[in-house]
Amino acid sequence: MLSIKNLKASVDGKEILKGLDLEVKAGEVHAIMGPNGSGKSTLASVLAGKDNYEVTGGQVTFEGKDLLDLSPEDRARSGLFLAFQYPVEIPGVSNINFLKTAMNEMRAYNNLPPIEAKEFLRMMKEKQKLVEFDSALANRSLNEGFSGGEKKRNEIFQLAMLEPKLSILDETDSGLDIDALRIVSRGVNKLRSGKNAFVLITHYQRLLEYIVPDYVHVLWNGQIVKSGTKELALELEEKGYDWLKEDAAAAP
């Protein structure tokens, strides 16, 4: 589904990603961990196609397409969902309208007609129930005045409605409280299937107590220096990151 090969990227002329490799297949949940400043959020931003991030080498394919060739909008339309630590607020645009627009853009990209009103309502109901989303939030302006927990709930509801193929959730550093952590993990656990994939970016092992990943990777100084299964996350919790310095030095 996602294949990243030797990805190099700079911000303000400073190289942050220094040859990163990652393969994600349908049905998999990957966790990317790593110390502060290692480049985790930069990776998410580069995949999203954010301004100011310059790709200087390597390839990224998503569902067989060259992702780096697509505009940020087309990346989203083709099924890549990125949730950030600080979601945007869009005053005056209701959650529902935002969702309908996003959904129809995805459908148009796949040569499908706009969703019928009745079908949209049916889906809203079904997904609200699935991820325990309060319908009052759906009618409010997107993220405006939402608490941290409400933003997380909303993010998961968007995921449920848009059914992206690949979701990248950057939860680092923001100190998710325990409620937000539960909301995110319950949502992801309900939505994960053999057809989609998740990349969870997290500074702490805590999130992985709730979502059991298939693979754990350590990002260090712009490269993935170690990969393993969930046991690696426990090892990191116990020993920190410093013991990986030697692995990092040996990485190509």
Q: Which residues bind ligand ADP (CB under 6 A)?
A: 11-12, 16, 34, 36-42, 52, 172
> Nearest-CB residue to Mg ion?
41
Which of ligand ADP, Mg ion, none is residue 154 near (CB under 5 to 8 Å by kind)?
none
Contacted by 39, from ligand ADP, Mg ion, none: CB < 5 to 8 Å by type:
ligand ADP
Nearer to ligand ADP, 34 or 164 (CB): 34
Tokens of 96: 């529902």
List the one residue out of 43, 48, 52 whose CA is nearest residue 7: 43
User: Tokens representing 87?
Assistant: 């979601």
Binding partner selected for residue 110 from Mg ion, ligand ADP, none, CB under the kind-specific 5 to 8 Å limit: none
Q: In the bound complex, what is the minimum distance in angstroms from residue 172's beta carbon to Mg ion?
A: 4
Q: Is 114 helix (H, G, I), strand (E, B) or coil?
A: coil
Task: Give the separation between CA 69 and CA 87, rounded to whole angstroms.
Answer: 25
Q: What is the nearest approach in angstroms of Mg ion to the Cβ of residue 41?
A: 3
CA distance to 50, 133, 160, 207, per residue, from 41 (Å): 11, 27, 23, 17
The whole-angstrom separation of Cα 60 and Cα 45 is 13
CA distances from 213 to 24, 119, 164, 193, 207 (A): 12, 33, 18, 13, 10
Nearer to Mg ion, 20 or 124 (CB): 20
Q: Compute the least distance from the CB of residue 52 to ligand ADP, in Å.
A: 6
Residue 174 lies near Mg ion (rule: CB under 5 A):
no
Cβ proximity of 154 and 137 under 8 Å: yes
Q: 192 or 203, CB closer to ligand ADP?
A: 203
Contacts of Mg ion in 32-51 (CB under 5 A): 36, 40-41
Q: Is 172 in the site for Mg ion (CB under 5 A)?
A: yes
**By C-beta, is 11 or 96 nearer to ligand ADP?**
11
Looking at the chain, the number of H-run helices and the number of E-run strands are 10, 12
Q: Which is nearer to Mg ion, 87 or 114 (CB)?
A: 87
Cβ–Cβ under 8 Å, residues 42 and 32:
no
φ, ψ for residue 246, nearest 5 deg: -65, -40
- CB closer to ligand ADP out of 46 and 99: 46
Provide the minimum distance between the beta carbon of 96 and ligand ADP in the complex, in angstroms, as a whole number: 32
> Which residues lie near Mg ion (CB under 5 A)?
36, 40-41, 172-173
